[in-house]
């Protein structure tokens, strides 16, 4: 237990902000390319299949441990949720856009029909 306390005391908070002089555009470009490839692969995953795994990774994530398996479970759980959110937003936008694309029905006035004689 005391080893754990010592480890926690020695761990410093770290700053994720990049200083302009330390930014390497080439490295950042490779990182962005890698992230784009990961996102492209994730977009091919089926939400129904992912949803069946949601409970499994939720439980793993809730049972914290200092392990790579726990970290992977958190990432997988986040990916599953991100696909669910993306699909929910997409579906909502499709529903909201659909009525605007449909042509409104022609208004029919009661009374005499609009007819003309054709010979």
Q: Distance (Å, rounded) from C-alpha 86 to C-alpha 43? A: 10
Q: pLDDT band for 117, please (50, 70, 90 cuts).
A: confident
Higher pLDDT, 119 or 96: 96
CA 73, 58, 35, 65 dihedral sign is negative
Calculate the average pLDDT of the chain: 78
Q: Is 84 among the domain residues?
A: yes
Whether the per-residue pLDDT at 68 is higher than 90: the answer is: yes
Q: Is 79 among the domain residues?
A: yes
Q: What is the mean pLDDT of residues 96-103?
A: 66
- CA 46 from chain center: how many Å? 13
Tokens 């994720």 locate to 16
Q: Is 59 among the domain residues?
A: yes
Q: Is 93 among the domain residues?
A: yes
Instruction: Please count the structural domains in the chain.
Output: 1
Higher pLDDT, 1 or 99: 99
Q: Is 15 among the domain residues?
A: no
Which of 57, 81, 83 has its CA nearest to residue 71?
A: 57
| pLDDT at position 78 | 94
- Domain range for 71: 46-99
Q: Is 80 among the domain residues?
A: yes
Higher pLDDT, 31 or 57: 57
- The pTM assigned to this predicted structure is 0.58
């Amino acid at each position: 237990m005391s080893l754990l306390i010592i480890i926690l005391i020695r761990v410093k908070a770290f700053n994720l902000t990049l200083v302009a002089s330390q930014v390497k555009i080439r490295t950042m470009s490779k990182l962005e390319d890698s992230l784009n490839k990961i996102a492209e692969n994730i977009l091919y995953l089926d939400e129904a299949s992912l949803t069946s795994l949601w409970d499994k990774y939720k439980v793993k994530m809730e049972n914290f441990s200092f392990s790579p398996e726990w970290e992977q479970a958190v990432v997988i759980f986040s990916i599953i949720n991100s696909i669910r959110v993306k699909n929910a937003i997409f579906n909502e936008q499709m529903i909201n856009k659909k009525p605007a694309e449909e042509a409104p029905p022609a208004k029919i006035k009661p009374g005499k029909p609009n007819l003309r004689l054709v010979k």
